[in-house]
Amino acid sequence: MVAALSRDRPGRRPGGGSLPGGPAGRPSGAPADAPRPTPIEALYAGREALDGRHGAHRERRRRCRIAADTDREAVEAWLALYADRPGTCRQYRREVERFWAFCLKERGKALSDADAEDAAAYLAFLARPHPDWVGPPGAVRGSPAWRPLRRPLSSASRRLARAVLTAFGAWLVQQGYWEAHPFDALPKSRAVPERPRRVLPRSAVLYLLGHADRCARAAATQAEARRFRRLAFVLTLAYETGLRLGELVGATTADLVRETLADGDLWWLRVRGKGDKPREVPVSEALLRAIGRELAARGAPLPGAGGPPVPLIGKLRGEGGLTASGLHRALVGFARSAAEALAGTDPEGAARLARVTWHWLRHSYASHALEAGVPLEAVRENLGHASLATTSRYITAERARRHRETTRRHRAPGEGVEE
């Protein structure tokens, strides 16, 4: 379960409200030896009254249509709806448990007691979290270094948190567990959607691939060389397809489909994305060869050769595929090592690589495909976006042209206009 803070902070008002010094933050002048986060199960020690049985939103308990008497049981009932979608379930759990821990430790109340003031304070807290809530990238859940956040959340990430918590609360109201939910009372968001900033230039993608190849050639053992070659394959597969992390770890040889046409064969990768929606992503001949080399290195059957399906990304030892968290840690760790190697010659590029997460590759795929002239509708279908508006955020060439034309031709009097 989620990690939160190990004991109450001085200055927190048990009935709700903000701490002095910022929205739901630590009071000014707090001691340096800050309390450390611990699992949410420990938060209930001495707080049995905060299990939600008597929460302010529980007036309709007789009408409840789910087998839940406590907030913990209600959370699990909602997450059970997404048991067949591990990536979605993992993301929803993270968002709900963060808010849950915030209610218990920062506001001193049960999840079922949270009101609109708590919801607003939480969204502000995500933008400026206390350092106790922020841990290093790559820390494994349950380890001493793990924290609920890796950094203050961007406005886009805060909108996602709000959307998930709104859906969660609406479902509990629909099921009669709650009378109302706190996020429903907040003003509607009018924020302008952000354009993706976590995009690598193509040169950085080429550097990562080259760094993996150099590390493989310089490796002291075959096992180490194999690890870097697999990383190069993962980068190639992710960058050429734009798949989400969960989609990629779930891809198997059975998902590779050949379509025979009069002028040759086309290969596609079948994917089930968000909402369990199926789609097919084009696979180039070069990518198909890379998949074949990776499978051959593992002694697995090649696409179309028959045999039981195997994951496209396999473990270095033994059978089976990697978990999403395991693959993400491998990528982040590799990007950090690449950043260190680049720091001496390109500090700015190194700083960018040091921040890379999996979704940077998906953003980079979208931006670079559109820049290369792939039609917007094709990129939308490949990414599995429901709306063209979402995909169009990645269009940068037209924005750059508009900027150049406007600033070149329209100036204030006396500034001059280029002809």
Structure tokens at 361: 């590759």
Tally the C-alpha atoms within 13 A of residue 166's C-alpha that lie toward its C-beta: 15
The whole-number average pLDDT for the span 56-84 is 81
Flag whether pLDDT at 359 surpasses 60.
yes
**Within 10 Å of residue 64's Cβ, how many Cβ atoms?**
16
Q: What is the pLDDT of residues 180-212, one digit of tens each?
A: 889 988 887 655 555 556 788 899 999 999 999
pLDDT tier, 231 (very low <50, low <70, confident <90, very high otherwise): very high
pLDDT at 59: 54
Banded model confidence at residue 393, pLDDT cuts 50, 70, 90: low
The reported pLDDT for the residue numbered 2 is 39
Sequence-distant (≥ 6) Cβ neighbours of residue 37 within 8 angstroms: 3, 4, 5, 6, 132, 133, 135, 146, 147, 148
Can you tell me the mean pLDDT for 276-286?
88
Distances (CA, A) of 361 to 208, 238, 284, 331, 365: 11, 7, 18, 10, 6
User: Is the per-residue pLDDT at 101 higher than 60?
Assistant: yes
Average pLDDT over residues 375-384: 81
How many alpha carbons fall within 13 Å on the CB side of residue 222?
A: 2
Is the backbone of residue 30 left (phi > 0), alpha (psi -120 to 50) or beta? Answer: beta
What pLDDT sits at residue 46? 61
- The answer to whether the CB of 123 falls within 8 A of the CB of 161 is yes
Question: What's the mean per-residue pLDDT of the chain?
Answer: 79
Residue 27's alpha-carbon distances to 6, 7, 24, 32, 201, in angstroms, are 17, 15, 9, 12, 41
Give dist(CA 7, CA 24) in Å, integer.
Answer: 15
Q: What is the average per-residue pLDDT within 311-322?
A: 82
Label residue 35 by pLDDT band (50, 70, 90).
very low
The confidence band for 67, taking pLDDT boundaries of 50, 70 and 90, is confident
* Terminal Cα distance for the chain, rounded: 63
Distance CA 151, CA 355 (A): 11
C-alpha–C-alpha distance, residues 411 and 417, integer Å: 6
* pLDDT above 60 for 164: yes
Residue 338 has what pLDDT?
Answer: 93
User: Looking at domain 202-400, does it have CATH number 1.10.443.10?
Assistant: yes
User: 98 vs 13, which has greater pLDDT?
Assistant: 98
Q: What is the pLDDT of residues 327-340, one digit of tens each?
A: 888 999 999 999 99
User: How far is Cα of residue 165 from the mean position of the Cα atoms in its chain?
Assistant: 16
What are the domain boundaries of the chain? 3-185, 202-400
Residue type, 230: R
